[in-house]
Amino acid sequence: MKWLPYHRFEFLSPLKKEAAIEAMAKRVEPMRWLRWRWPSSDNDERFEGDMTPDGFKGHRIIGYRNSFIPQLQIVVTSEARGSRVQITMQLHPLIWIFVAVWATAFVVIAPTLLVTSPNVMTTLLTFLVFGAIYAMTMGGFWFEANKQEATLRGIFQAS
C-alpha cells in the first residue's frame, strides 16, 4: 500500500513510439474551463490536456467531481520492439497546497487542543478530522489512479 497520492510506473508497449503517441492523441481533447460533466462509460478513454512530442500531460475526463484526480505525465520512448511508456500520477499542485494547509493546521492546533482541553473527546475529534482529510485525499486519488492505469494499459496495448 502506498501512503502518498503519488504513483509512478512504466510498462512496455508493442506499439512503436509514433503509433503509441498517436493512440493517445486520438483520445485527448484540449483543456476547457467549463465542461458538461455527465457520468458515462464513453468517458473512460477520454483525456484532456496537451500532447507533447514525447507523450502527454493532463488528466482523464470524468463525469463527476473529484478534486483529487491524478494529473498524468506520460513519456513514451522507443525500444527495440515497441516502446516504453513511463507514467507519473500525482495531485494537482493547488490540491497539494490545500492538503498541506489542512495538515499544517492539524500539526499546529492539535497539540494546543490536547494541552488546553486534555479529554478523550477532543483527542478523538482531532484525530478523526485529520483521518478524514487523509482518507478523502487517498480515496479520491487511488480510486481514479487505478482506473487510469487500467485504461492506459489498454490504450497502449500493454500486457
| pLDDT in single tens digits along all 159 residues of the chain | 688 899 999 999 999 999 999 999 999 998 877 766 666 666 668 899 999 999 999 999 888 888 999 999 999 999 999 999 999 999 999 999 988 888 888 778 777 777 777 677 777 777 888 888 899 999 999 999 999 999 999 999 986
CA angle 131, 132, 133 (to 5 degrees): 90
What pTM value is reported for the model?
Answer: 0.83
Strand residue runs (E) in the chain: 6-13, 28-29, 47-52, 55-60, 71-78, 83-90
